[in-house]
Chain A
Amino acid sequence: SAVISQKPSRDICQRGTSLTIQCQVDSQVTMMFWYRQQPGQSLTLIATANQGSEATYESGFVIDKFPISRPNLTFSTLTVSNMSPEDSSIYLCSVEVAIGQGPGGYTFGSGTRLTVV
């Protein structure tokens, strides 16, 4: 299955600043997914990133706040802009992996633990 390298693994940022998270996949994938996991909660999809087109954002997430780049089939970035303490969370990228008979599950990067102070 695909291996994803995600960085940074953690960061502490000042409010009002921006942080860019990078994910590199060891194989070409059509779609990459960006999730947020707030403390003690499950995964919430932020957006789906396709190479060569604009990302598709879920309800409650906007491009100005979470701009995404997808310059090729192995790489994507998510920027958390104009951060506030409410953005403190774990951010994860993921790709679909083929399992066999049906749609694949996802494999995840190691996550970025963001704390905004």
Chain B
Amino acid sequence: QKEVEQNSGPLSVPEGAIASLNCTYSDRGSQSFFWYRQYSGKSPELIMSIYSNGDKEDGRFTAQLNKASQYVSLLIRDSQPSDSATYLCAVILTNNDMRFGAGTRLTVKP
């Protein structure tokens, strides 16, 4: 089992819709979780962090964490074409190493 798993996509949503990106992790002791956005040809950019069960909202972005299910998600409301990118889930393992998922490619169609 991979340490961090994401659906590779591509995920395509119409402009204005909600995009839902999912991630599961294998290390039950993990406590810190992150979402990065990576535009084509660019380096990853940190957009969200979450440490506690529940929801964390930042503008149009909501991160959701369920440690019992070892599941973290990112919702993007009112999706815009500028949100088209690859979204990487990252988890800090109990040995303090950070591991990245393979990423989900999101396309928002005008």
Contact = CB atoms under 8 A, between A and B. Distances in A.
Interface residues of B, number: 20
Interface in B3-33: 31-32
Nearest to B2: A42
A110 B31 CA distance: 28
Contact of B51 (A42, A43, A101): A101
Contacts of B101: 42
Contacts of A99: 49
Nearest to A102: B51
A101 B103 CA distance: 25
B47 to A, nearest CB: 9
| Chain A at the B interface: SS class | loop
Interface string A38-53: 0001110100000000
A105 B46 CA distance: 7
A111 B42 CA distance: 8
Nearest to A97: B46
B31 A105 contact: no
Interface in B95-110: 97-98, 100-103
Interface string A62-102: 00000000000000000000000000000010000101011
Given A97-B46, A99-B49, A105-B90, A41 B102 contact: yes
Contact of B88 (A33, A42, A109, A110): A42
B32 A102 contact: yes
B1 interface: no
18 contacts: A42-B88, A42-B103, A43-B88, A43-B100, A45-B97, A92-B43, A97-B46, A102-B31, A102-B32, A103-B92, A104-B49, A105-B46, A105-B49, A106-B44, A106-B90, A106-B98, A108-B44, A110-B42
Interface of B: 31-32, 34, 36, 42-46, 49, 51, 88, 90, 92, 97-98, 100-103
